[in-house]
Chains A and B, each alone.
Chain A
Amino acid sequence: MKSIIRYSFLSLGIFFLFFLTACKKDFLNITPTDRLTNEAIISDSSLFENYVVNRYLGVQLQNKEAEGTPPGFGRGFEYALWSTLTDESIYNNDDQTWLIQRGQLAPENLGIAGTIWGRSYRSIRECNYALKNIGQVNMSQSHKNCLTAELKFIRAFRYVDLIRNYGGVILMSDTVYELNDNFTNPSLFKRSTIAQCMDYVGQQLDEAATGLPLNNGTNWELGRVTKGAALALKSRILLYAASPLYTNGVNDKAKWQEAANAAKDVMNLGQYSLYPDYSQLFLSYSGNSEIIFARYYAIGARHVCLEVANGPNGYDGWGGTTPLQNMVDAYEMNNGKAIEDPASGYDPQSPYISRDPRFYATILFNGAQYRGRAVEIFTPGGKDSKDGSGNWNTSKTGYYLRKFMDDNNPIQNPWNITGLQPWIYMRYAEILLNYAEAQNEVSGPDASVYSAINMIRQRAGMPVLPSGLSQDQIRVRIWNERRVELAFEEHRFYDVRRWKIASETENISAYGMDIVKNGTGNLQYTRKIAIDGRHFEEKNYWLPIPRTEIQSSGGLLQQNSGY
């Protein structure tokens, strides 16, 4: 009997243990420690600001995007630069770019050009969320004004990304969509006209410019936008808005005038000037007065390690974004004459002699000095040709990219050290070019047009433009100046479209250069086709909206025509 009692107690004791653990209150309510809630973001002003600042970042939406860090606006320093979709370059290893060069772009086959839509709208919602709630955040009104202006800039830039790729898009105003909203309402999918979009963005940028500080400083650190950035972006979109693609070919002087004024507004700020050395401009990590707005990087938040990604195979590089002959041909001789000009002195068998200094700063060509030796693209035997090591990375065009490359960076094992060059969204040279282009359309080549364009040429070490050019003549020069000055900076793609010359420029084959060293050591230069099938159709003036988006709208969203 004793033992029964004893064991009953023992068993009761054990079962009591279970009950003890069982009766904890709120057992199923767990507060996570690795994430924050709405309340935390809004009630803590510094967390709120942490949220706002990250809006400069976008979301990664496909493979081979966002190497190192999330994308910002546009495509920035990715493996295949946006340039590889133009007559500037091709991406050596394809990586979903050739289909665009070859006119195979379709709503279901977007290559690298499919992410701007989703990324932009996601950011717009995030900005709207912050704008909607900033009133509840406990911070000084002046700082709130700055953050509001900053958010409006970011949102406007997202719209610029949308408009320049898709034309008239859907304007969200301040709506913050939630999960259970009804997405079958046709009005949600109504695309505004380009003009409406431009108006909206222009107005938002005006508001941003009003609220933003003029300078970066300790309270508004470098990397956050300033008044100048808002005005510069406005200058860009007004220039676009005046261009033939956006006006349906109507030459509207008033629009050009607005564009010229917008550029002038930036110039009048007196904040910006051209950096003296074109080749170092892109490597100056701070204190560069030409930069109006750029994205900066740091160890731990880098972009693609450019030197390995684009370097010649003989240097163990991967020969990524490789310039086309089409681009090379755009560089004038250093006497200021185009190579087609018989008086230019251009020798097709010594093609790299006496060219625009920006050529040498932008393109690695056969014989260029790079990292202690001459680049050898010739065959047979050239180290950076198919006869060199790693020849699967040999350029198909006969050129490698020089611009942006920092010779202090190692090519081998760069992962935790390099990828830090700033990606310049807007710089003063663009503003001068914007001004020159717009003002020329308004008034023809007046002194201010010459002055703007010549500032750029002189900084580059090129002779000034000859005086007495006609409006048409100088337009061609301005276009080419823009092409050369802003090469690989994500302008060409949009410029050839807004000028409506893409059906011409983008239907020219992708040319490269074949360089053969003959028995006597002489080099023989022959143009060749780098990749077959380059092709552009009228519909390609705008990108197709992703098919998934048309589908999820239930067909209510109007696809761009031709797709």
Chain B
Amino acid sequence: MKNYFYFHRSFIFYKRTQIFRVMKIGLMLLLVSMGSIYASAYSQKREITLNATNISLKDVIKQIEKQSDYTFFYNEDYIDLSQVVSFSANKKDIAVVLSSLCSLAKLNCKFMENNLVVITSETQQKLPKVSGKVTDQNGQQIVGVTVSVKGSQKAVLTDANGKFSMELADKKATLVFSFIGFVTQEYKLTEENTVNIVLVPSIKSLDEVVVVGYGTQKKVTLTGSISETKGKEIIQSHQPNISNSLAGRFSGMIINNRSGEPGNDDATILVRGLATTGNTDVLVVVDGVPGQLGGLARLDPNDIESVTVLKDASAAVYGSRGANGVFLVTTKRGEIGKPTVSYNFNQGFSSPTRRPHMADAATYATILNEIEYYNNPAGGMNQHYSADEIQKFRNGSDPLNYPNTNWIDETLKKVTLLDQHNISVSGGTDNLKYFTSLGTISQDGLYKNGATNYKQYNFRSNIDANVTDRFKIGLYISGREEDRQHPHYQYYENSPDLFREVYRAFPTNPARYPNGLPFSGIEQGRNPIMLVTDAGGLNKSANLIFNGIVKASYLIPQIDGLSIDGFYSVDKSQLFDKSFKKPYTVYTYDKTNDVYNPMTVGESKASLSESQENDLMITSNIKLNYQKHFGNHDLSAFIAFEQSTKKQEGIGATRTNFPTMLTPELSEGGTAPNDKDNSGSSYEFTRKSYFGRISYDYKEKYMAEIQLRYDGSSIFPEGKQYGYFPAISAGWRISEEEWFKNDVQFVNSLKFRVSYGELGNDNVTANQFLNNYSFNNKYVIGGSIYPGIDLIKLANPDITWEVAKKTDIGFDARLFDNFSVQAIYFKQTRSNILIAKNASIPNISGIVNPYNSESLLPSENIGKVNNGGYEITIGYQQHAGSLSYGISGNMTYAKSKVIFMDEAPNTLDYQSQTGKPLNSYLLYNVIGIFRTQADLDKYPHVVGAQLGDLILGDYNKDGKINVDDKVRSKYGNIPEVTYGFTLSAAWKNIDFSALFSGQARVSQYVLSESGTDGNFFSGWADNRWSPSNTNGTYPRVDTQASSSNNGGLYLNNFWLNNASFLRLKNIELGYTIPNHLVSKIGIKTIRVYMNAYNVFTITKVKDYDPEGSNEQGQFYPQQRIINLGLNVKF
């Protein structure tokens, strides 16, 4: 806490009386600086009693401080506190006492905010005066800025209105304005009396603290690789899912949004790339609770104070769960002062980043003719449609029989709405602080008449109480309801994506017949325009999440620096799912009889299924801390114990054959025994951990830190349950060395640091140390289903932790005041990676994994992967008059290399994964298209190859094309390079920011489900090879791309995209209405803004968004959102 308090060479001398009080001031200054507090100076009238006879003024002030909450600022260089006074007061108001005392001592007492009293000498007032105001870029006054005169000891602080005034000996002096978190600014006076200064926030202030695992640390002495972003930055990406707002803001992070569907648009997050074949989930710690239920993505961005990421060994304090990196989320706390009410409203207009273009009816009809031609060349080019019919598709002369349907237009709206509201009330006194908020999100799907939407309601109440000076308690409660709604179809069939149906639908079919009746669709009534609606019923899920944390800390009186703290948290979530499926009617037109035949989609009677899943996680933590300064030595340490239990219980029930659709309740369904079914499941796992940390620094120049965690997990068998996870790190602030200060003046600060640690990962299925059997009731004997048992998991009695050993070397520097640079080289080796030996255990062993369900083989600690790279962050901040601007950029390169993974013996070198990056593809290399018979004769080819097919390269030059000719792709779908940069500028009341993010060295395989089973993206349809377009750049079409020579049968790199992109992720322009215009109506600030998210994307990928990972290109497109918003504080 003391770290908050850091003054430059100011004239203010702060007494080391009670460190605690100083802390309080420091905190207050910090909070004031953030411009979000308003405190009343005289809020606490205090009466004091004094009886002083001939004692020094200093002692009188001490007595007053003792009796009251007031703190005095003074500089003994200027005022004489040794003068002896006699003074008495009995239960008098402190203001009265002080003013009489000051007049007695011929001093000036000035009451500041928050019980501060500045004592200055009266005599100074005779000098010439300069005054002014200090504001930030938004025009907010900054309280407590140190205004000092360069080359002298003289300085003042700005007052509650950000104003200052001081006397000067020299009217041409240079004033220095410094304040925590802002770039120090100098101003050379030219005889003027008024100076208005705009301070620019510093890129990385030396004084900031940052949240780390189980505590906070000063950034200057930090030795780990830790990135931080503030809640206010996250808010700038106005979209409802925080995981997507983080993209581009951190170095070292790979954040990909794979789907834009409301409620299901969580990004996949990787810290420093892919380093394991096992689970890659990042641990999310919210307000100290590891793995808090509810996670990161759905937190209300308005509630977030900061998000930090532990990228290196610093995460070792989370031991067995730290290997994939740790997100530490801190929610907002109350700040001392009058209640502040803040209201945010955001109206978003959402549309897809890309709407794919599909082949039109005439093109598709031609393609069908080509497909039939290839299957039966003797039949000619018009086996399916005559040229005349194709012409009808083209000219729309017969919309009943020859429609031309653009299914994307038919099913998708151009724009859909999204709004967010948040209101918060915060404030506090010395002893009680509160932050409460309530937020809502409402987001509609893109579908026309669609049933998809997402609604969220969340609240948070964070209360901190100082019960005594030594005992503090905090109660943090938050809750959230996530309501998702989808058309029933989405959860009905194997492929959960409505977009599959939209992209597959044939343009040669109508969406509706000219008379308005809906067409019956591709099969079984799957007409996308109906599927997206609630016609077939709804699936509604309500996820209720409750997080409650009680935290307490106690400073142990007997030993200075010793404290104990702990928390007990209860997380509860309830997922309730209700899915009502009902029949609806579509039509097929019978041309011969000119009638529309109805067809019922779905079972003839409605059915209902409901399920509930309850999760409960209880975490308790106790921690003994020690913190001590001895002269230049600073030591802090803790030891802690933590344990958690997580239980899940689920139940489900279904009922079919509802007599009516009007009663979607379980008890109202059909009555036959087969009409009812139910299910249930539960699991539990537990963890127990002992851990600690020692941090030491000498003069904030040399730093060292050791962490150790001893973790136990119920995932593993007795004897293998516990693992040690140590980490060590050190830092050297070379810029603090005297010789460096003298010789290298353009460097403001420079720190070298290094860390090493071992971290774990236990994120695998439980109970793998036993042979697992489970019921699989599918065999019928005697006319009914028999309760059958299958072995579903073979035992691995030796299963234990996956281990990550991480090394980091880096430096942080600030140059020429305005530049900041950070560069880190990192490397990690993963060993004991828990993977199943799928490749090296032959099927003859009988140990054979099923398709699409849990693997029979247990995970074994066999994998080894190295991962390494570097990350660089550069920032620049500058200002000119009332204009200030900044730019910062980050870039990360991370590459993995498989050292060992289970591969079959004798795997060909160029095909093996070992020695190559993870997630690469094994594909045939396409070297062209067979355009002439000469080509076919010249190149080796597969059986059945014909003109228009892709030429597969004969990699091993053996004259035939077989699997040995497949080669590993250079890149997989995890980018090796990610980067982001932000621009920000402020001019008077206008602010601007922009965030770009991008990725490079990344590939994604996409082969659409095209042929007689689905339409074609126009990229392929328009450029296909055909007998009449022998110059086509795409191969000939085939019955099914998935089993074509040019597609699924010989997976090849023609369909591998370079998925690099650069995206304007976010851009915002804001205007803060000047204070004087709104203060009259009792409003502190009003800010309005326009913002856009995912504005444009530069990429080589055609047809769909490059961020998708679906290999058929079937996914809900990512969203572009235009926002208008309002932020009011009063």
Give A92 Cβ to nearest chain B Cβ, in Å.
Answer: 9
Q: Do the beta carbons of A121 and B905 come within 8 Å of each other?
A: no
Q: Are A59 and B375 in contact (CB under 8 A)?
A: no
Q: Which of B506, B566, B772 contacts A35 (CB 8 A)?
A: B772
- In the complex, are the beta carbons of A121 and B844 less than 8 A apart? yes
Interface pair A301/B778, CB less than 8 Å apart: yes
Give A266-310 interface residues, CB cut-off 8 Å to B. 286, 295-301, 308
Partner of B643, one of A27, A41, A99: A27
Asked if A21 and B471 make an inter-chain contact with CB atoms under 8 angstroms apart, the answer reads no
Q: Is the CB of A59 within 8 A of B848?
A: yes
Surface stretch bound by A, among B193-201, B267-275, B519-527: B519-527
Whether A59 contacts B603 by the Cβ 8 Å rule is no
Docked Cα-Cα span, A10 to B674, in Å, equals: 58
Stretch among B144-152, B589-597, B972-980 lining the A interface: B589-597
Q: Given known contacts A57-B776, A126-B846, is B643 in contact with A36 (CB within 8 Å)? A: no
Question: Which of A4, A19, A553 touches B842 (beta carbons < 8 Å)?
Answer: A553
Q: Could you say which of A94, A123, A170 contacts B1040, with CB atoms under 8 Å apart? A: A94
Given contacts A37-B771, A106-B962, contact A95 B1043 (CB under 8 A): yes
A28/B714 contact (C-beta < 8 A), A10-B471, A14-B552, A221-B782 known? yes
Contacts of A126 in B (CB 8 A): 791, 846
- Inter-subunit contact B604/A413 (CB<8 Å): yes
Residues in B762-801 with C-beta less than 8 Å from chain A: 766-767, 770-796
A220 to B840, CA, bound (A): 40
The smallest C-beta distance from A366 to any residue of chain B, in angstroms, reads: 15
Contact assessment for A551 and B782 in the assembled complex, using a CB-CB cutoff below 8 Å: no
Of the candidate stretches A199-207, A246-254, A383-391, A483-491, the one touching chain B is A383-391
Closest to B557 in A: A4
B656 within 8 A of A: yes
Residues of B within 8 A of A368 (CB): none
* CA gap between A38 and B621 in the complex, in Å: 37
Mask for A46-72, Cβ within 8 A of B = 1, else 0?
A: 010011011011011111011001100
Which residues of chain B have C-beta atoms less than 8 A from A316's C-beta?
520, 523-524, 588, 599
Within 8 A of A (CB), among B921-958: 942-944
Task: Chain A residues near B17: list those with CB within 8 A.
Answer: none
Contacts A124-B846, A413-B603; A11 near B564 (Cβ below 8 A): yes
Q: In angstroms, how far is the closest chain B Cβ from the Cβ of A106? A: 7
| Minimal beta-carbon separation of B582 from chain A (angstroms) | 12
Residue in A96, A298, A528, A554 whose Cβ sees the most chain B Cβ within 10 Å: A298
| Complex alpha-carbon distance, A51 and B379, angstroms | 55
Whether a CB of chain A sits under 8 angstroms from the CB of B384 is yes
For residue A73, give the distance in angstroms from its CB to the closest CB of chain B.
12
- The answer on a CB contact under 8 Å between B848 and A36 is no
A306 nearest CB across to chain B (Å): 15
A94 and B1043 in contact, given A50-B788, A301-B777 (Cβ under 8 angstroms)? yes
CB pair A529–B845 under 8 Å, yes or no, is no
Whether A29 contacts B618 by the Cβ 8 Å rule is: no
Interface locus among A136-144, A178-186, A255-263, A353-361: A178-186
Selected interface stretch from A326-334, A452-460, A531-539? A531-539
Q: How far is the CA of A529 from the CA of B224 in the complex (A)?
A: 70
Q: Which of A50, A386, A390, A415 is packed against the most chain B CB atoms within 10 Å?
A: A50
Q: Is residue B398 within 8 Å, beta carbon to beta carbon, of the partner chain?
A: no
Q: Does A118 contact B (CB under 8 A)?
A: yes
* Cβ contacts under 8 Å, B789 to chain A: 36, 41, 47, 50-51, 54
Q: Is A396 an interface residue (CB 8 A)?
A: yes
B127 within 8 A of A: no
The number of A-B residue pairs with CB atoms under 8 Å apart is: 341
A552 at the interface (CB under 8 A from B): yes
Check: A547 CB closer than 8 A to any chain B CB: yes
- Residues on the B chain within 8 Å of A30, using CB: 684-686, 714, 766
Chain B proximity of A183: nearest CB distance (Å): 6
* Residues in chain B near residue A98, CB distance under 8 A: 1039, 1043
Residue among B775, B847, B853, B942 with the most chain A CB within 10 A? B847
Q: Does B702 contact A (CB under 8 A)?
A: no
Interface contact A179-B843, CB-CB below 8 Å: no
State the Cβ distance, A91 to closest chain B Cβ, in Å.
10
Indicate with 1 or 0, residue by residue over A1-37, a CB within 8 angstroms of chain B CB atoms.
0011001101100110111011000011110111111
Option from B379, B600, B766 in Cβ contact (under 8 Å) with A412: B600
Please tell me if the beta carbons of A103 and B943 are within 8 angstroms of each other in the complex.
yes
> Does B470 sit within 8 A of A, measured CB to CB?
yes
Kindly identify which residue among A19, A70, A552 contacts B622, using a CB–CB cutoff of 8 Å: A19
Contact residues in B for A235 (Cβ distance below 8 Å) = none
Question: What's the Cα separation between A118 and B844 when bound, in Å?
Answer: 7
Which of the residues B600, B604, B850, B904 comes within 8 Å of A548, measured between beta carbons?
B904
Contacts of A178 in B (CB 8 A): 794
Q: Give chain A nearest CB distance to B560 CB in angstroms.
A: 16
Smallest CB-CB separation from A178: which chain B residue? B794
Asked if B1075 is an interface residue, CB under 8 A from chain A, the answer is: no
With contacts A11-B552, A30-B684, A35-B774 known, is A22 near B845, CB below 8 A?
no
Contact across chains for B779 and A56 when beta carbons are under 8 A apart: yes
Is A344 in contact with chain B by the CB < 8 A criterion? no
CB pair A94–B780 under 8 Å, yes or no, is: no
CB closest chain-A residue, reference B494 = A63
- Is B620 in contact with chain A by the CB < 8 A criterion? yes
What is the minimal beta-carbon distance from B799 to any residue of chain A, in angstroms?
11
Interface status of A338 (Cβ within 8 A of chain B): no
Contact A179 B588 (CB under 8 A): no
Q: Which residues of chain A come closer than 8 Å to B515, judged between CB atoms? A: none
The residue among A66, A224, A532 with the most chain B CB atoms within 10 A of its own CB is: A532
| Closest A residue, CB atoms, query B850 | A59
Given contacts A15-B622, A532-B374, contact A35 B943 (CB under 8 A): no
CB-based contact A11/B554 at 8 Å: yes
Distance in angstroms between the alpha carbons of A178 and B860 in the assembled complex: 13
Chain A residue contacts of B713, Cβ below 8 A: 28
Tell me whether B850 and A32 are in contact (CB under 8 A).
no
Is B688 interfacial (CB-CB < 8 Å)? yes
C-alpha gap A50/B1013 in the complex (Å): 41
Say if the beta carbon of A469 comes within 8 Å of chain B.
no
For the complex, is B1028 an interface residue (Cβ under 8 Å from A)?
no
Q: Are A108 and B844 in contact (CB under 8 A)?
A: no
B880 within 8 A of A: no
B848 touches A551 (CB 8 A): no
Bound-state CA distance A8–B555 (Å) is 10
Q: Is the CB of B603 within 8 A of A296?
A: no
Are the CB atoms of B622 and A34 closer together than 8 Å? no
Asked if A122 is an interface residue, CB under 8 A from chain B, the answer is: yes
Determine if B387 is an interface residue (Cβ-Cβ < 8 Å).
no
Whether B781 and A223, one on each chain, are in contact in the complex, defined by CB atoms closer than 8 angstroms, is yes
Structural contact, B847 and A179, CB atoms closer than 8 A:
yes
Which residues does chain A contribute within 8 Å of B853, judged by CB atoms?
A: 60
Contact (Cβ within 8 A) B788 A54: yes
Q: How far is the CA of A213 from the CA of B799 in the complex (A)?
A: 44
B782-A549 in contact (CB<8A): no
Contact of A551 among B714, B776, B839 (CB under 8 A): B839
Query: Given A18-B566, A298-B780, A300-B785: A390 and B714 within 8 A (CB)?
Result: no
Return the 3 tightest CB-CB contacts between A and B, nearest first.
A125-B846, A221-B782, A551-B904
Extra contacts, 20 of them, besides A103-B943, A108-B963, A301-B785 (Cβ < 8 A), are A7-B470, A7-B554, A10-B467, A11-B564, A18-B566, A28-B712, A29-B718, A41-B773, A54-B788, A60-B851, A61-B850, A98-B1043, A121-B845, A177-B846, A179-B857, A188-B844, A297-B780, A299-B674, A386-B384, A416-B603
Supply 6 A–B pairs (Cβ within 8 Å), ascending by A: A37-B770, A61-B851, A96-B1043, A124-B846, A179-B860, A223-B782
Interfacial residues, chain A to chain B (CB-CB below 8 A):
3-4, 7-8, 10-11, 14-15, 17-19, 21-22, 27-30, 32-38, 40-41, 47, 50-51, 53-54, 56-57, 59-63, 65-66, 69-70, 93-96, 98-99, 102-104, 106-109, 111, 117-119, 121-126, 128-129, 170, 172, 176-179, 181, 183-184, 188-189, 218, 221-224, 286, 295-301, 308, 316, 318, 381, 383, 386-387, 389-390, 392-393, 396, 412-413, 415-416, 528-533, 535, 546-549, 551-555, 557
